[in-house]
Amino acid sequence: MTNNVFQHGTVGGLRIHVMPTKAFKTYAISLYAGIPLDEKTVTSTALAPFVLRRGTATYPETTQFRERLEELYGAGFGFDIYKRGDYQIVQFRMDTINDSFVQSQESLLEQSFAFLGEVLTRPLVEDGSFRPSYVATERETVRKKLESIVNDKIRYAAERCIEEMCRNEPYRLHPLGQRADLDQITQKSLYESYNSWLDDAILDLYVVGDTTAEEVEKLVQRHFGRVQSEAGLYSSKFVPVSVNEVRTVEEKLDVSQGKLNLGLRTSITYKDDKYASAIMYNGILGGYPHSKLFVNVREKASLAYYASSRYDGHKGIGTIQSGIETQNYGKAVDIIEKQLEEMKAGNISDLELSQTKAMIRNQLSEIPDSAFEMISYDFNRQLSGKERTADQLLGQVEQIGAEDVKAAAETFQLDTIYFLTGKEE
């Protein structure tokens, strides 16, 4: 069995991905559940996992739930909610010590599957709905998380720029939902939406550790029996959005430092053969401390407290984030736009190319050190339908020259300028 290769299969409504390896002392288990981002369901889908972690049929009290994890030699359990392209993804994770390192009567892998299967499919139900106190408490948890975004102005500006740019697309929605929807969600309506979410979600279960695909399939049949939905596929159809004119949005809040964010559209996505050129483009533009934005906007012109860029390959958009003095708005926009033009003109030095390749090489070569990083990388394949190992991606990155980055730059079109500024005195 070669190392670092996932074996793929399907059991019922679950796609299964197993990497048998003795490289780690733990089992890494990850379950992804994805549904299309939708205004009607986004908030209840986000709230459900918070309630699921409070109690199950066997461990109805939150203290029992936590004690059970302690009994599994301090197994780690957690979840994340995020968006990838136009999908809202809930990811459950478990990290359990390998059976060979402990004296346990029953397999810890089996007990972890039993626990995760129960969290997902056998929550605590009272009178045909979730426990009211759990729903009430977790509603406040989600509300506070959404409110904390408003208080963190850097995050807030980044979210608002996306909201404005994608105002007619599902991608505008925050993966944690909308504060205005929380009060409408009752224990009964949440239980109903949880059931339809479980029926409709695209489910991918990953296991990395000292096991086999056959063993995992048996454990799935035993502990995820309720999951009957057809194992669907993520739709990877992508329609590039063409930009007719740049939109400028200014918002005033009580801030001492202006936040200038720009949104760009590109036709290059994760499944595109030019993906390596796009990540090189982002790296040279603003992904790292040696990038054009950092050097020219922050260091040379002293116009920004921070200046960086990001690229979302599942959605085909790039974003630029910077913090500036409000009176420097015009200068900052000019100098940022100049960096975009420099990229399109192919004014890229050998040093910028080699430093960016070194940074990407470091990131990609660290993936095999972490089971969850390998899982996360492979999940990109499920989302995009594109086969490309980290080694293959690295090989493509190493081949890229200034002309390739210039060609990628020509696909990035400025779409939205969002400026968060202070209220007038």
CATH number at residue 185: 3.30.830.10
Residue 128 belongs to some domain of the structure: yes
Q: Which residue has tokens 């004119």?
A: 245
* Number of domains present in the structure of the chain: 2
pLDDT at residue number 303: 84
Residue 235 belongs to some domain of the structure: no
pLDDT at residue number 1: 33
pLDDT at residue number 298: 80
Q: Are residues 27 and 168 in the same domain?
A: yes
Q: Are residues 259 and 219 in the same domain?
A: no
Mean residue pLDDT of the chain comes to 94
pLDDT at residue number 402: 98
Q: Which of 180, 207, 223 is the last residue of a domain?
A: 223
The answer to whether residue 226 scores a pLDDT higher than 80 is no
Q: Which of 223, 238, 261 is the last residue of a domain?
A: 223
Residue 240 belongs to some domain of the structure: no
pLDDT at residue number 301: 81
DSSP code of residue 25 = S
Q: Are the C-beta atoms of 159 and 319 separated by less than 8 Å?
A: no
Share of the chain above pLDDT 90, in %: 87
Domain extent, residue 215, equals: 7-223
Q: Are the C-beta atoms of 222 and 113 separated by less than 8 Å?
A: yes
Residue 157 belongs to some domain of the structure: yes
Q: Which two tokens stand for residue 50?
A: 């918070």
Instruction: Report how far residue 382's alpha carbon sits from residue 214's, in angstroms, rounded to the nearest whole number.
Output: 21
Q: Are residues 30 and 158 in the same domain?
A: yes
pLDDT at residue number 388: 95
DSSP code of residue 367 = G
Share of the chain above pLDDT 70, in %: 98
pLDDT at residue number 297: 84
Instruction: Report how far residue 171's alpha carbon sits from residue 38's, in angstroms, rounded to the nearest whole number.
Output: 9
Mean pLDDT value of segment 91-95? 97
Q: Which of 189, 223, 257 is the last residue of a domain?
A: 223
The answer to whether residue 299 scores a pLDDT higher than 90 is no
> 103 φ, ψ to 5°?
-95, 90
| Collapsed DSSP state (helix, strand, coil) of residue 419 | strand
The answer to whether residue 2 scores a pLDDT higher than 50 is no
Q: Are residues 39 and 106 in the same domain?
A: yes
Residue 231 belongs to some domain of the structure: no
Residue 289 belongs to some domain of the structure: yes
Tell me: the pLDDT tens digits for 331-370? Answer: 999 999 999 999 999 999 999 999 999 999 999 999 999 9
Q: Are residues 207 and 252 in the same domain?
A: no
Which pTM was predicted?
A: 0.94
pLDDT at residue number 168: 94
Neighbour-count burial of 266, counting CB atoms closer than 10 A to its CB (0-12 exposed, 13-18 middle, 19+ buried) = buried
The answer to whether residue 425 scores a pLDDT higher than 60 is no
pLDDT at residue number 99: 78
Strand order from edge to edge, sheet including 76-84: 7-11, 14-20, 202-209, 26-36, 87-97, 76-84
Q: Are residues 56 and 189 in the same domain?
A: yes
DSSP line for 219-259: HHHHH-TT--S----------PPPPSS-EEEEEEES-SSEE
Q: Are residues 259 and 214 in the same domain?
A: no
Q: Are residues 272 and 209 in the same domain?
A: no
Lowest mean pLDDT among 189-193, 224-228, 320-324, 415-419: 224-228
The answer to whether residue 231 scores a pLDDT higher than 70 is no
Q: Are residues 136 and 172 in the same domain?
A: yes
Residue 239 belongs to some domain of the structure: no
Q: Are residues 57 and 184 in the same domain?
A: yes
Q: Are residues 155 and 253 in the same domain?
A: no
- The confidence band for 380, taking pLDDT boundaries of 50, 70 and 90, is very high
Q: Are residues 257 and 207 in the same domain?
A: no
Tell me: the pLDDT tens digits for 165-205? Answer: 999 999 999 999 999 999 999 999 999 999 999 999 999 99
Find the length of the chain.
425
Tell me: the pLDDT tens digits for 51-82? Answer: 999 999 999 999 999 999 999 988 999 999 99
Instruction: Report how far residue 304's alpha carbon sits from residue 323's, in angstroms, rounded to the nearest whole number.
Output: 5
Residue 237 belongs to some domain of the structure: no
